[in-house]
Chains A and B, each alone.
Chain A
Amino acid sequence: MKSALRHLVILFTILCGTTISGASIQEAQAEVIFGKACFHEGELGFSANFNAPKTTPVGSTRHVEIPPAENGAYFGMLENGKAYVGKGPPSRARKSLRKKSREQNSPVDDIAHYPEAASFAKEAELIEDLGGLDAPDLLNKINSPGKK
């Protein structure tokens, strides 16, 4: 049994490029990190911890990139599958999804924010008023997506 165990651990080590801590697997604390799952050898044998800590804590949105915008629409989803839509600036989208994440005790999976189309249209009008994209003083050299 111990021999089989030793071979199994060695196999994990070779396949995953991981290291084994502890002098001997007989000391019952050899550990192989395999993705997010931790395998521990104890008196009762191997047990897999599939409840490894999540990388995104509940109530956090810092892992989500949202470009700056004054206003807009958003779609947000939690890891438990709950989905939300809303109106507001990126700051409101984050606050709203933080609140939902805490209420549901589920981390925020992702947020998509769609800037207010009217602001693009206004920007396009402004660019035209300033003489178009060829105007010498026009700092914004990128045409607005709101231009028709």
Chain B
Amino acid sequence: MDGEFPDDSDGRVLKMMAERGLDMSRPVKFEFSIHVEDEENAKIVLEGLKAAGVGDAKEIIFDEGELEDGEEMTKENEEFWPSWTVYVYQSMVPGYERVIEFQRTLAEICKEHGKPDGWTVELN
């Protein structure tokens, strides 16, 4: 543990938020991301989220990636491949257990169709 946040990635980001002056007692807009293989799986995940009533808002976004002209997709440049993501926007008071629990809920809804792989918060 480091202060009030566990020593893992979720705890570290929450700590960064607190250190950078974010009011941790007020709701913050979290942007949770679910990696999906293709559009078909993205739609299945989105329907699951809607049915469960999870998230203030959600959307499917195709990211065209950053491969250069003629550049082939290899394991080494995977970070730059085109990809599909389902984003779930949720306002909540920042807290480790809340963030972990929300990601757990997303994983249960996604099942084999997608994988929650992170979240983002704007600092200013």
User: Interface on A for B, CB 8 Å cutoff?
Assistant: 59-62, 66, 71-73, 75, 81-96, 98-100, 114, 116-118
Which of these, A81, A86, A94, A100, contacts B13 with CB under 8 Å?
Answer: A86
Which of these, A60, A73, A85, A99, contacts B123 with CB under 8 Å?
Answer: A85
Q: Which residues of A contact B61 (CB under 8 A)?
A: 99
Residue pair A87, B13 in contact (C-beta under 8 Å): yes
> How does the 8 Å CB contact mask read for B91-124 relative to A, with 1 for contact and 0 for none?
0000000000000000000000000011111111
Chain B nearest CB, measured from A27 CB (Å): 37
9 contacts between A and B (CB under 8 A): A73-B12, A75-B16, A86-B13, A86-B120, A87-B10, A89-B117, A91-B83, A92-B35, A100-B122
Which applies to chain B's interface (DSSP): helix, strand, loop or mixed? mixed
User: Interface on B for A, CB 8 Å cutoff?
Assistant: 7-10, 12-13, 16-17, 20, 31, 33, 35, 61, 63, 66, 68, 78-80, 83, 85, 117-124
Q: Which residues of A contact B79 (CB under 8 A)?
A: 66, 90-91, 94
Which of these, A62, A88, A91, contacts B119 with CB under 8 Å?
Answer: A88
Residue pair B122, A98 in contact (C-beta under 8 Å): no
Chain A nearest CB, measured from B27 CB (Å): 16
Chain A nearest CB, measured from B110 CB (Å): 15
Residue pair A88, B118 in contact (C-beta under 8 Å): yes
Residue pair A91, B78 in contact (C-beta under 8 Å): yes
Chain A nearest CB, measured from B70 CB (Å): 15
Residue pair B122, A84 in contact (C-beta under 8 Å): yes
Q: Which residues of A contact B78 (CB under 8 A)?
A: 91
**How far, in angstroms, from A56 to B32 measured CA to CA in the complex?**
27
Residue pair B120, A62 in contact (C-beta under 8 Å): no
**How far, in angstroms, from A35 to B105 measured CA to CA in the complex?**
53
Residue pair B9, A71 in contact (C-beta under 8 Å): yes
Residue pair A60, B121 in contact (C-beta under 8 Å): no
Query: Can you add 12 more A-B contacts, CB < 8 Å, to A85-B121, A90-B79?
Result: A62-B68, A85-B16, A86-B31, A87-B12, A87-B118, A88-B118, A91-B117, A94-B66, A95-B83, A95-B85, A98-B66, A118-B8
Chain B nearest CB, measured from A77 CB (Å): 9
Which of these, A60, A66, A82, A116, contacts B122 with CB under 8 Å?
Answer: A82
Residue pair B117, A73 in contact (C-beta under 8 Å): no
Q: Which residues of A contact B124 (CB under 8 A)?
A: 81-83
Contacts A62-B80, A83-B123, A95-B83 hold; do A114 and B12 have CB atoms under 8 A apart? yes
Residue pair A118, B7 in contact (C-beta under 8 Å): yes
Residue pair B9, A83 in contact (C-beta under 8 Å): no
Q: Which residues of A contact B120 (CB under 8 A)?
A: 84-86, 96, 100
